[in-house]
């Protein structure tokens, strides 16, 4: 494990799932960790688990909220834009509000987080990481707005990486497949509702996307983020790293 003593990291969407796993892994590696999210209850739960973790209530879709988040946290060596959400519907039945919600949290939220993080990043450089999805590398039926947003995140990462490559800052995206998190639980419930499948069959329908026949664990995302912050990843820049068992 990389030693992150003396570094400060900020993780959005840090109250649950991959965000909580990242926060805990970075705290265990010695970093001071700020977790940001909209649920104060979830923030209290994660901050109670480690003395190095502090919480900030923030909405990544709101520019002023993101500015206030960084004003509270101060300069951070590692910024992890993890906050996200997923909704599913047939494309022809997707209304404009649903489209804007998906773009807002999954793309605009990443833009605002990385932009403000970059503006206050220490002179010695650091790491900017977006938690995207395999949906940023391929299409999935019934989640066109989500996939469009995640494709946008990867385009943003690739462009920004070239722009700031000489500043001792790397920018990368981690792209997990279906993860063993509450988001996947909601996807299972949605499949059950719309198809009449039982829970076991609905969950199996998700795991079949992964050639290994399994859901990605949040800790795998956390370990990848830790690796990206190490000296061995200094040349890893502008990449979309798939954690998918070979799906992409």
Token pair for 49: 């688990």
Chain-centre distance of CA 166, in angstroms? Answer: 25
For the stretch 89-105, pLDDT in tens is 999 999 999 999 999 99
For the stretch 135-173, pLDDT in tens is 999 999 999 999 999 999 999 999 999 999 999 999 999
Phi, psi of 36 (to 5 degrees): -120, 145
CA distances to 84, 134, 150, 215, 242 from 131, rounded to whole Å, are 9, 10, 9, 16, 10
Q: Structure pTM?
A: 0.93
pLDDT of residue 118: 97
pLDDT of residue 1: 65
Q: Which comes out higher in pLDDT, residue 16 or 230?
A: 230
Spatial CA neighbour of 130 closest among 176, 98, 96, 82: 82
CATH 3.40.190.10 fits 8-179+216-238, yes or no: no
Q: Which comes out higher in pLDDT, residue 82 or 191?
A: 82
Spatial distance between the Cα atoms of 8 and 30, rounded to a whole number of angstroms: 9
- Residue 192, pLDDT above cutoff 90: no
3-state SS assignment for residue 212:
coil
Q: Concatenated DSSP letters for 1-21?
A: ----TT-EEEEETTTSHHHHH
- Residue 226, pLDDT above cutoff 70: yes
- Residue 219, pLDDT above cutoff 90: yes
The active-site residue, picked from 86, 146, 174, 233, is 146
Phi, psi of 57 (to 5 degrees): -75, 125
Alpha helix stretches (DSSP H) within the chain: 17-28, 40-47, 63-73, 96-103, 109-119, 144-163, 182-195, 199-207, 218-228
CB 216 within 8 A of CB 243: yes
For the stretch 53-91, pLDDT in tens is 999 999 999 999 999 999 999 999 999 999 999 998 999
CB 239 within 8 A of CB 172: yes
Spatial distance between the Cα atoms of 35 and 65, rounded to a whole number of angstroms: 14
> Is 142 assigned a catalytic role?
no
**What is the domain partition of the chain in residue ranges?**
8-179+216-238
pLDDT of residue 197: 79
């Amino acid at each position: 494990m990389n030693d992150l003593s003396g570094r400060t990291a900020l993780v959005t969407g840090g109250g649950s799932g991959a965000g909580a796993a990242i926060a805990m892994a970075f705290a265990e590696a010695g970093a001071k960790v700020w977790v940001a999210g909209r649920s104060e209850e979830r923030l209290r739960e994660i901050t109670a688990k480690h003395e190095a973790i502090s919480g900030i209530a923030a909405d990544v879709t709101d520019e002023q909220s993101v500015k206030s988040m960084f004003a509270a946290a101060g300069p951070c060596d590692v910024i992890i834009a993890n906050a996200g959400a997923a909704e599913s519907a047939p494309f022809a039945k997707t209304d404009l509000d649903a489209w804007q919600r998906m773009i807002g949290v999954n793309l605009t939220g990443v833009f605002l987080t990385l932009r403000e993080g970059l503006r206050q990043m220490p002179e010695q450089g650091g790491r900017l990481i977006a938690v995207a999805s395999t949906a940023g590398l391929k299409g999935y039926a019934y989640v066109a707005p989500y996939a469009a947003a995640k494709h946008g995140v990867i385009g943003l990462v690739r462009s920004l990486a070239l722009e700031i490559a000489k500043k001792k800052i790397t920018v990368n995206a981690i792209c997990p497949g279906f993860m063993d998190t509450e988001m996947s639980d909601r996807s299972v419930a949605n499949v059950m509702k719309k198809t009449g499948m039982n829970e076991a069959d609905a969950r199996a329908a998700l795991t079949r996307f992964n050639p290994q026949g399994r859901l990605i664990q949040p800790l795998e995302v956390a370990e990848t983020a830790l690796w990206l912050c190490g000296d061995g990843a200094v040349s890893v820049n502008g990449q979309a790293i798939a954690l998918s068992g070979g799906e992409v």
